[in-house]
Structure 1
Amino acid sequence: MTEVVIVASAFGADAVRRDGHRAWIATAAAAGASGFEVRRELISAETGVQPAALRELGAAIRETGMWAVWSTPDSLYAADGRLDVAALGRALDEAAALGARFVKLQLGGFAGESDAASIAACLRGVDTRLVVENGQLAEGGMTAQFVAFFEALEAQGHGRVAGMTFDIGNWQWTGVAPAAAAQRLARHVEYIHCKAVTGEGARRFAVAPAADDPVLATVLPLLPRHVPRGIEFPFHAHRVAEDAARYVEWLGGWLAAA
């Protein structure tokens, strides 16, 4: 079985903002999840991102046997192409307090200069693994940007300084075929966000994949099979625990025996 992470938003963004992440830890653990992704944007009070609060949250996650992901909506690169050292430092500090295995940022406005040495300096002595995610906007959501980013890291001798969160659904917002992106980026992928997408244009929404979802069936075989897969689609409001357990088993077993 591949490790499966439940992203907190699967329990409903409004519910997590209202009740807090801790209210859903036991449900995620009971479902058999290996990890729990904490979303900074769903922490409604600023006190919730203070070190003491994050340490308590991280301890509560570890007590169940799960590990944590720290997800921030901030971008590694600003819109003008500059490395956002402040955003990276803040995310790393918060992830360290949580005790997260991964810290996830958007790639943002990367424009060719990787600043690999600066990223490596920020990560020196840090246990949390940095992974950049493809977003739903053209800025930070196009295959060529990620190819160029990882090529630049390698060219500067820092090819392993960061990995990728490959969000299967997000590519569809930017008009990129997920399978084409997977073929070019698979060797950098260390975490996968799994969801299907419904709707058109800006009116797209994440939904649970069908058992025979053609996109997942095409893309997952192209990606590393040993890396964690995240459930980033909403559970049904009236059967949250049942959905969580069912999808953890289903997603963790997909391709496991192949």
Structure 2
Amino acid sequence: MTEAVDVVIVASAFGMEAVRAGGHLKWAEATGRAGAAGFEVRRELFSDEADAAPPALRALGKRIAELGLWSVYSTPASLYTTDGKLNADALRVSVEEAIALGARFVKLQLGGFAAEANAAVIAEHMRCADVRLVVENGQLAEGGSLAQFVGLFDALAREGHADVLGMTFDIGNWAWRGVAPLDAAGPLAAHVEYIHCKTAVGEGARRFPAAPAAGDAQFAAVLDNLPRHVPRGIEFPFDASRIDTDAAHYVAWLAAA
């Protein structure tokens, strides 16, 4: 029998406006009801900047933990600036906020990484931090190319800090870059520590995230080529007319897929 894996529900799966209006805790409670193991807090969905202050994050993290969930802290900040330099300030702030929340992972976008990782500085920032740094492939050309991620992990190894961070592999986001996710899974699988699960429908600017079909052979093949033990995040929208039923269904399905 295949061992079940941890499933995380990303807050945005409940609808971005619903999260901004109702707050993260409401949807963390729905995540708990669905049987998930974790909940991803999205910084961009806070209704007020005060929600990102340490006392508010600590209070939210405490309530999430009381629900029996662990958390991911996701921020739209990029690890590298558009000119390829390490964005040390964004890293510091993101890590501090994630620590206040009590998150297991802090997730940033890659940004404009070019050649030098500045790995020693990243290692110093993470040295005493009880949270794991992961970077995600995004939908934009900057921070979303396969070559950038291959280059990043090569640079980290070259600079002597191969394990200083891991990757959030977003299966659906590769479609925005015209990359088959199975082609990306091979060279990046060794670095993947968290998976965002979704597919994409539509074309060009009219492309949207969607739930994988039960018989989607390509999606299943991608999962088969990524580490089995790492958590899987649901980042596709639930049906607003039956959120609890939809969430529970997809948690159970993805845990066993």
User: What range is the shorter-chain TM-score in?
Assistant: over 0.9
Instruction: Show the 5 A alignment for 1:27-42.
Output: 27-42=30-45
The letter of the residue matching 2:139 is Q
Task: Work out whether 1:65 is the aligned partner of 2:68.
Answer: yes
Q: Which residue of 1 aligns with 2:28?
A: 25
Q: TM-score, normalized by length of structure 1?
A: 0.97
The letter of the residue matching 2:148 is Q
Aligned partners of 2:32, 2:55: CA distance in 1, in Å?
23
Aligned partners of 1:141, 1:27: CA distance in 2, in Å?
31
Instruction: Show the 5 A alignment for 1:220-231.
Output: 220-231=223-234
The letter of the residue matching 1:6 is I
SS at match of 1:239: helix
Cα-to-partner distance string for 1:142-191 (whole Å, 9 max, x where unaligned): 11110110111111110000000000000000111100000110000000
Aligned partners of 1:97, 1:14: CA distance in 2, in Å?
24
The letter of the residue matching 1:181 is A
Equivalent in 236, 241, 256 of residue 239 of structure 2: 236
Aligned partners of 2:220, 2:133: CA distance in 1, in Å?
27
RMSD: 0.6
Cα deviation, residue 26, structure 1: 1.4
Aligned partners of 1:193, 1:215: CA distance in 2, in Å?
15
Aligned partners of 1:227, 1:96: CA distance in 2, in Å?
21
Aligned partners of 2:110, 2:77: CA distance in 1, in Å?
9
Cα deviation, residue 130, structure 1: 0.2
Cα-to-partner distance string for 1:45-92 (whole Å, 9 max, x where unaligned): 011000000001000110011100000001000101010001000100
Task: Work out whether 1:192 is the aligned partner of 2:195.
Answer: yes
Aligned partners of 2:143, 2:165: CA distance in 1, in Å?
15
SS at match of 1:225: coil
SS at match of 1:153: helix
Equivalent in 131, 134, 138 of residue 135 of structure 1: 138
Aligned partners of 2:234, 2:165: CA distance in 1, in Å?
22
Q: Which residue of 2 aligns with 1:150?
A: 153
Aligned partners of 1:214, 1:193: CA distance in 2, in Å?
17
Q: Which residue of 2 aligns with 1:164?
A: 167
Greater Cα offset, 213-222 or 99-108: 213-222
Aligned partners of 1:191, 1:30: CA distance in 2, in Å?
22
Q: Which residue of 2 aligns with 1:75?
A: 78
The letter of the residue matching 1:90 is V
Stretches of 4+ aligned residues off by more than 3 angstroms: none
Aligned partners of 2:152, 2:178: CA distance in 1, in Å?
20
Aligned partners of 1:178, 1:60: CA distance in 2, in Å?
36
Cα deviation, residue 218, structure 1: 1.9
Greater Cα offset, 207-216 or 53-62: 207-216
Cα deviation, residue 215, structure 1: 2.7
Aligned partners of 2:123, 2:211: CA distance in 1, in Å?
37
Equivalent in 74, 90, 93 of residue 90 of structure 1: 93
Equivalent in 11, 14, 21 of residue 14 of structure 2: 11
Residues paired across the two proteins, number:
254
Q: Which residue of 2 aligns with 1:46?
A: 49
SS at match of 2:241: coil
Aligned partners of 1:203, 1:61: CA distance in 2, in Å?
35
Q: TM-score, normalized by length of structure 2?
A: 0.98
Aligned partners of 1:220, 1:54: CA distance in 2, in Å?
32
Aligned partners of 2:97, 2:6: CA distance in 1, in Å?
23
Cα deviation, residue 39, structure 1: 0.2
Aligned partners of 1:53, 1:149: CA distance in 2, in Å?
34
